[in-house]
A and B are shown apart, each in its own frame.
Chain A
Amino acid sequence: AQSVTQPDIHITVSEGASLELRCNYSYGATPYLFWYVQSPGQGLQLLLKYFSGDTLVQGIKGFEAEFKRSQSSFNLRKPSVHWSDAAEYFCAVGATTDSWGKLQFGAGTQVVVTP
C-alpha cells in the first residue's frame, strides 16, 4: 500500500539552529515528491519539489531536500532556522502520471522555534 510517513509529529528548535524534517514513503515506483508548509490561517505553500535529476533540491525560504532512492526518503533541511519558520510541514507524493496532483500527504511535523 502507498504511504507517506513523517516520523516526527513535533520538533522544537532554537532560532539559528539547523533543522531536519524526515519523510519516508512507500510507493510502487519513484513518485513525484513535495514539501509544503502551512501556517495558521494560511493555505499550503509549496517549498520545493523533486521530479527527476539532481537528488538535492533547492527550494524557497532557504530550504533544501535530498532524495535518497535506496532509503525511500526525502528529508527537508534548513541550515539556520528563523522564528518565521514556525509552522506545520507536510511531505507529499504524487504519481508520475497525468494524475500527479492527486497527492498523498504525510500527517505533518509541527515545528516550534524558540528564541
Chain B
Amino acid sequence: DTGVSQDPRHKITKRGQNVTFRCDPISEHNRLYWYRQTLGQGPEFLTYFQNEAQLEKSRLLSDRFSAERPKGSFSTLEIQRTEQGDSAMYLCASSSDMEKLFFGSGTQLSVL
C-alpha cells in the first residue's frame, strides 16, 4: 500500500480565514479518522467515517469544523473562521476491519 496521504503538509493562515485539508486513505480502507495534536500532547479524536457515513463526532469538533468523505474515498476537513486556538497538527488515519490504524504525516496548521 502507498500509505495515508495528507495535503498540505503545512498551512499558514490568518485568523478568520477558512482552511480545508485533504486526506487520502489507503485504498480499500473503509474507515477514516481525524485527530488533532497540539504541542506536547497526544492526539485527540475528532471524528470518523465508515465508508461515506460519519459515525461519530467529538465534542472538540465545534460547528466551525466540518468533515466529509464523499463516495467513501478521500476526506476533507474544513475549518471556518479560524482562531488561534485551532493551531495544531491535524492527523488522518485509516483502517480496514483489522483493528490497526495507519496514520498520515499530518497537516500542521498555524493561525496568525
Using a CB–CB distance below 8 Å, which chain A residues touch chain B?
A: 4, 32, 36, 41-46, 49, 51, 90, 92, 99-108
Contact = CB atoms under 8 A, between A and B. Distances in A.
A43 B4 contact: yes
Given A43-B106, A101-B48, A102-B56, A49 B99 contact: yes
- Tell me the interface secondary structure of chain A in the complex: loop
Contacts, number: 56
B100 A49 contact: yes
B51 to A, nearest CB: 14
Nearest to A36: B103
Contacts of A101: 31, 33, 48, 93, 95, 99, 101
Interface of B: 3-4, 31, 33, 35, 40-45, 48, 55-56, 91, 93, 95, 99-106
Given A44-B91, A101-B93, A107 B104 contact: no
Given A43-B4, A44-B103, A49-B100, A102 B48 contact: yes
B104 A108 contact: no
